[in-house]
Structure 1
């Protein structure tokens, strides 16, 4: 077992090294296209954090996970104010929100084995806390060798991701077996963690920190601009959309000229691209980052920090990524605002939450060819659906404090 684990991890490291030029090319192309710094040197591990002996290191991948990580960090510090918190993220959006927080942060490097000995020598963390799913074989092994507990917080594992890990069980099973504590969101996540090799005694079902998030802040000035554009029309919001979602709902808008469509892209930099696509479909469109055309049928919400304003004026909210195979987006914000929810068949990134919202009567599922009918049903029952969605969220609060308490207990006994 040890020999196969050793060989598997070294094969993985060689493949990672071989792929390095492609990784560099990908991030340079992707982030420069989005006017973001690709931070190649940092991702290669040439930049190391400042000395923070005895810190708690929390790693999150993107924006949503970073917000979860910050809430968990604050809960830990409320209970133990002397803690030092160090945070990392992978994406520019995640790094941006961390940079604006009270925590020391750094870009997370690629999982080259030579990186971690330097990092762990600088940080000497009491624990590494991974938010949701972002485990890496070389990092987990390096922590295990130094006796640093690896804790999975707010863990989620869809059936689809388990199948992916099991294709590479020679690499993933030794990694998962080294997890000291797995704080999983719901029952299905618990089963999947155990299937991947996390010891049963290390797994707990604790709910989701995302349910504890505050009601989205509504920027009144932006909300008023959207209200003036909406007028008396029904407004459907496509939240956190991907390109395939945009195409599907532009087609829907063409068939429903009496309704207004608000597209909030997952990446706001895509605003001009979506506007061009709408014009190509002979639809009138404008961007919220520019002057809003009050006669346009389609508004593209391409500004940062205005999701609360967008949702507050919407009559129905459609979950982006759920019709394009991307696994959906977090439905909690619109649920907190009592908005009726419509989602497609692909919600594996939020499988348990979306299943529970559907069972509670707060979310309608539909295939791509059923969008019009689903939106009509949501509009007819908008008050009942919205209230049911919010009621389910409120009934499941408290995970943040529970996970913080469990983490501190793990550190005390380690």
Structure 2
């Protein structure tokens, strides 16, 4: 059964590459950055002289989750190779871990992955959250390595899809040697999909074990100027427009000095966000170029969002008005801020369950509600007191890092 599943997967891969070439090939060739990324995706992992842990995190969210774990693994002096599926995830990890090998993952093609595993002497493949790549998992297993999924989660939407395709994914998930789930619900879902129950355990969310956000540097403060700020963090298309309208309404009323910080989830959208703000008629500037005199600051750098939350008076968490499923809801609270979010937080159910009792989440059903909810928060001078209490309460839910390290030890991970 496993062989048939892998064979079908590889046939579909080949068909997609060949039939889709008229679309993806021009898209790659028209951008120098995409051409470099394409070459990287077709290149095997580097040669290593000792057994290696290969840690794979899809994008920025998974990369952020992996950071506490990577820091500890690096302290152990282990041979590490870290890969991502996106350039933004790669950029964030390279910035945080300049001494590590961080690159885009090779495409999940059988020959390329087998060569990678052999060259890098991969002993353990560590997949962060929900990264299921059949050839990657199979190649490591065949080479007598181990497959471990950490901070494992599965969204409502993905779970429904995986259930329909369980006959295909169950043989793949039975290859998993250890799984540490983020929540009880995620644990039950992975077991239902095929992970062996005796190999799965509850470890918690690695994002809860991240250190407090760094204090804002003088350079950052000088670049963006003085507040007060409304920040839109990890925004997607449509959300910047909604924030601009709500911000304009607040400026006309109770908050005439309020400035707007826009932090797009994907940096390639920065030119489109600049054009949107320009059409709106507001003065704007890029954080990288200095924007202390602008009404709207567009953040075109990586790794500063957690710190920027701490400089803002009002916070909107992106990916929640857009039908994306939400991003890290805990990060603003760890910075001492309550937050406003839209209806789409299905990818962050566990974080919502942790935070909702503290009263730090303020939901809007539609973009039209943003100005009203933000205005109510602006009028409350004690609005962030609840975030301080929540930050203390979250300390009781830490510990995922130590449990994850224990999970890795039998798989050749860090020694006690």
> Does the CA contact (< 8 Å) of 2:67 and 2:210 recur in 1?
no
Instruction: Please give the per-residue CA displacement for 1:128-165, whole angstroms capped at 9, x wherever unaligned.
Output: 11111111112222223233221001111122111122
Q: How many angstroms apart in 1 are the aligned matches of 2:172 and 2:156?
A: 18
- TM-score for both structures, normalised by structure 1: 0.87
Higher relative contact order (CA 8 A, sep 6+): 2
Quote the offset at 1:109 in angstroms.
1.4
RMSD: 2.6
Specify the alignment match of 2:245 in structure 1. 251
1:316-355 correspondence runs (5 A): 316-355=314-353
Quote the offset at 1:77 in angstroms.
5.2
Quote the offset at 1:28 in angstroms.
6.9
> Does the CA contact (< 8 Å) of 1:342 and 1:378 recur in 2?
no
Question: In the superposition, relative to structure 1, how do residues 104 and 282 fare at CA in structure 2: closer, same or farther (>3 Å)?
Answer: closer
- TM-score for both structures, normalised by structure 2: 0.87
User: In structure 2, the residue corresponding to 1:390 is in which secondary structure?
Assistant: helix
Question: In the superposition, relative to structure 1, how do residues 210 and 245 fare at CA in structure 2: closer, same or farther (>3 Å)?
Answer: same
1:1-400 correspondence runs (5 A): 2=1, 5-21=2-18, 22=20, 26=24, 29=27, 35=33, 37-44=35-42, 46-76=43-73, 78=75, 81=76, 83-100=78-95, 101=97, 102-217=99-214, 218-228=216-226, 230=227, 234-257=228-251, 258=256, 259-292=258-291, 294=293, 296-368=294-366, 369-379=368-378, 380=380, 381-400=382-401
Quote the offset at 1:330 in angstroms.
1.4
Q: How many angstroms apart in 2 are the aligned matches of 1:77 and 1:268?
A: 28
Instruction: Please give the per-residue CA displacement for 1:10-36, whole angstroms capped at 9, x wherever unaligned.
Output: 222111112125379548737965945
More moved, 322-331 vs 26-35: 26-35
Q: How many angstroms apart in 2 are the aligned matches of 1:27 and 1:66?
A: 28
Quote the offset at 1:261 in angstroms.
2.1
Q: Which runs of 4+ in 1 moved over 6 A?
A: none
- Name stretches of at least 5 consecutive residues in structure 2 with no aligned partner: none
Q: How many angstroms apart in 2 are the aligned matches of 1:210 and 1:263?
A: 23
> Does the CA contact (< 8 Å) of 1:285 and 1:299 recur in 2?
yes
- Name stretches of at least 5 consecutive residues in structure 1 with no aligned partner: none
> Does the CA contact (< 8 Å) of 2:44 and 2:112 recur in 1?
no
> Does the CA contact (< 8 Å) of 1:49 and 1:122 recur in 2?
yes
Quote the offset at 1:246 in angstroms.
1.0
